[in-house]
Amino acid sequence: MKDTRARDLQEFFERVADDWDQMRLSYYDGRVIERMGEVSGADSGMTVADVGTGTGFVAAGISPLVGRVLAVDNSPAMLDVARRNLGELGLANVELIEGDVGTLPLDSGSVDAAFANMVLHHAKDPAAMLREMARVVRPGGTVAITDEVEHPFAWMREEHADVWLGFEKGQVEGYFREAGLDNFGYESLGMQ
């Protein structure tokens, strides 16, 4: 059974799904997708996971660069918006999958890269989320997360249902190590 925080988080995303694309505009832009493509070496032979796909922003941006995108989210309302957004773009290589970021409904080693944008601070257990992302990536693949920088904006707990107010660099590095990922980098795209 889901705990109260997880239920509240899912209810939040069910409620804001139709407004999320507008809400996210003040926080990040297409540069996150460009950088994910660069660090993963995105090419047409790849299958990638978009963990916590939301309205499909990353899936839509990365899909022209890869062969297949498995877009996972636990909010049916967000997936409905993603389905609409992706349909309007005519993107046929994206598969939308309902599932939790802490227990991804993907086989181990089934993707070449796993991406998560604006998701880690919503994870009940950030280390578990990264372990799951690492689990589904083939050996030698890429795990990339964005928007995890620590911030003092407590109001985001209400307005964006943040569980965590970001993370210090050392915390993120620790989560990557716990996930068995030892070759990682940390950089700022200068969007904050």
Looking up residue 171, the CATH number of its domain turns out to be 3.40.50.150
Residue with the two structure tokens 């505009």: 25
99 within a domain of the structure (yes/no): yes
Per-residue burial over 151-173, b if 16 or more Cβ lie within 10 Å, else e, is eeeeebeeebbbbbebbeeebbe
CA dist., res. 144 & res. 37, Å (int): 10
192 within a domain of the structure (yes/no): no
CA dist., res. 103 & res. 133, Å (int): 9
Give 3-state DSSP helix, strand, coil % of the chain, rounded to 5: 45, 20, 40
Residue 72: domain span: 4-178
184 within a domain of the structure (yes/no): no
Residue 28 confidence (pLDDT): 56
Collapsing DSSP to helix, strand or coil, 104 comes out as coil
186 within a domain of the structure (yes/no): no
Residue 192 confidence (pLDDT): 41
What total number of domains does the chain contain?
Answer: 1
Residue 89 confidence (pLDDT): 87
Residue 42 confidence (pLDDT): 94
Residues of the chain scoring pLDDT < 70: 1-29, 150-151, 153-157, 159-164, 186-192
Classify residue 182 by burial, with Cβ atoms within 10 Å: 0-12, 13-18, 19+: exposed
Q: Which two tokens stand for residue 33?
A: 């997708």
pLDDT digit string (tens) for 90-139? 989 999 999 998 899 999 999 999 999 888 887 888 889 999 999 999 99
CA dist., res. 143 & res. 181, Å (int): 9
16 within a domain of the structure (yes/no): yes
Residue 1 confidence (pLDDT): 35
183 within a domain of the structure (yes/no): no
- Sheet of 47-51, strand order: 94-98, 68-73, 47-51, 111-117, 137-146
